Amino acid sequence: MADCLFCSIGAGEVPAEKVYEDDQLFAIRDINPVAPLHLLLIPRKHIATILDFEDTDSALVAGIYRLAARLAAENDLSDDGYRVVANCKSDGGQTVYHVHFHLLGGRAMAWPPG
Ligand code: AMP
Ligand code: ZN
């Protein structure tokens, strides 16, 4: 989609530190990390928010959680754990309207979130 930051990063038109990519998904380091490990797991398909997933996206969503577990394991987070967060619209704190999941780890997370 034109004028979408994450579509542009996925297409290689905007630079980012990619740590994973396949034909469905890619993962980058967040430019403003809030934890020792802060990755963004992003479907290549332009989907604006997590409200917009369709039945046909079920495998894609499952794949995001499987990729999160794989990247967490590769970063030695399997024992202590990690958090996966998807912010939705204004109250959820979403700033980029192309679905992405934050993988946060390397420190204890607070609850409730701010
Ligand atoms: P959200 O606020 O949930 O929509 O998350 C958007 C995230 O994208 C924020 O954590 C930003 O720091 C991150 N971000 C914005 N621009 C870039 C970029 N060019 N490369 C990597 N991460 C970015
Ligand atoms: Zn997009």
Task: State yes or no: pLDDT of 2 exceeds 90.
Answer: no
Report if residue 76 sits inside a domain: yes
User: Does 90 contact ligand 1 (Cβ within 6 A)?
Assistant: no
Instruction: Give distance in angstroms: CA of 99 to centre of ligand 2.
Output: 8
Mean pLDDT of the region 18-40: 98
Cβ atoms of 99 and 86 within 8 Å: the answer is: yes
**pLDDT band at 114; cut points 50, 70, 90:** confident
Report the CATH number that the domain containing residue 51 is assigned in CATH.
3.30.428.10
Task: State yes or no: pLDDT of 13 exceeds 90.
Answer: yes
Mean pLDDT of the region 45-62: 98
Determine the structural domain holding residue 27 and report its residue range: 5-105
pLDDT tens-digit map of 71-104: 999 999 999 999 999 999 999 999 999 999 999 9
Residue 40 contacts by C-beta under 8 Å, 6 or more apart in sequence? 6, 27, 28, 29, 30, 100, 101, 102, 103
Domain count, the chain: 1
The predicted pLDDT at position 18 comes to 98
Report if residue 111 sits inside a domain: no
Here the tokens at position 111 are 């609850």
The owner of tokens 């967060």 is 85
> Considering only CA atoms, which of 34, 48, 44 is closest in space to residue 83?
34
The owner of tokens 């996925």 is 10
Q: Is 100 a catalytic residue?
A: yes
